[in-house]
Amino acid sequence: MYKEPRSNVTSWHAHELCRGCGSCIILERRSKYCPGKLRLDQLTLLDDLTWGPARNIVSFTGEDLTCQPEFYAEATKEIKSLGLDLWVLFETNGYGLTPSTLDLFKEAGLDSFWLDIKAYDDEVHRKLTGFK
Ligand code: SF4
């Protein structure tokens, strides 16, 4: 497992380590875009197509999860109670990040947010997500 500092607990920072191309595994040579920061034994197949490092981050992602903030606050507390030196990342479009939800997450020990905004233009955003 690759240990990230707390300041690097986002999806974006993963690309500073590896672009996920798989070239070093499949073609046995690094691509010209490779950051060259990882050894081969630090790579794993993350899904059907993407190679990358397993980082010490538990990420809550997929659709928007802030409709159930109490669940993710409790899950964060459980993860932190394991004492495994894991960071917790929450990915959201920001819709449910109310002051009370932010306080709840802070008290639970959540480490980082990835604010996943699909588009700055209202019309493009609505077409991509169905929401304004
Ligand atoms: S470490 Fe391998 S998979 Fe990652 S960017 Fe470099 S060549 Fe691609």
Claim to verify: residue 125 and residue 111 sit in the same structural domain = yes
Q: Looking at the structure, tell me whether residues 42 and 64 fall in a common domain.
A: no
pLDDT tens for each residue of the chain, 132 residues long: 899 999 999 888 999 999 999 999 999 999 999 999 999 999 999 888 889 999 999 999 877 778 899 999 999 999 999 999 999 999 988 878 899 999 999 999 999 998 888 788 889 988 887 776
Please give the model's pTM, rounded to 2 decimal places.
Answer: 0.84
Nearest to 88 by CA among 115, 54, 112: 112
- Domain assignment of residue 1, yes or no: no
Residues 46 and 85 in one domain: no
Residues in the chain: 132
What is the pLDDT, as a whole number, of residue 48?
A: 84
Domain count, the chain: 2
CA of 25 to the centre of ligand 1 (A): 8
Spatial CA neighbour of 132 closest among 101, 102, 95: 95
State the residue range of the domain holding 24: 6-53
Ligand 1 centre and the CA of 13: distance in Å?
Answer: 14
Is the residue at 29 inside a domain?
Answer: yes
Tokens of 20: 């996920």
Ligand 1, residues 13, 17, 21: which to mutate, most atoms within 8 A of Cβ?
21
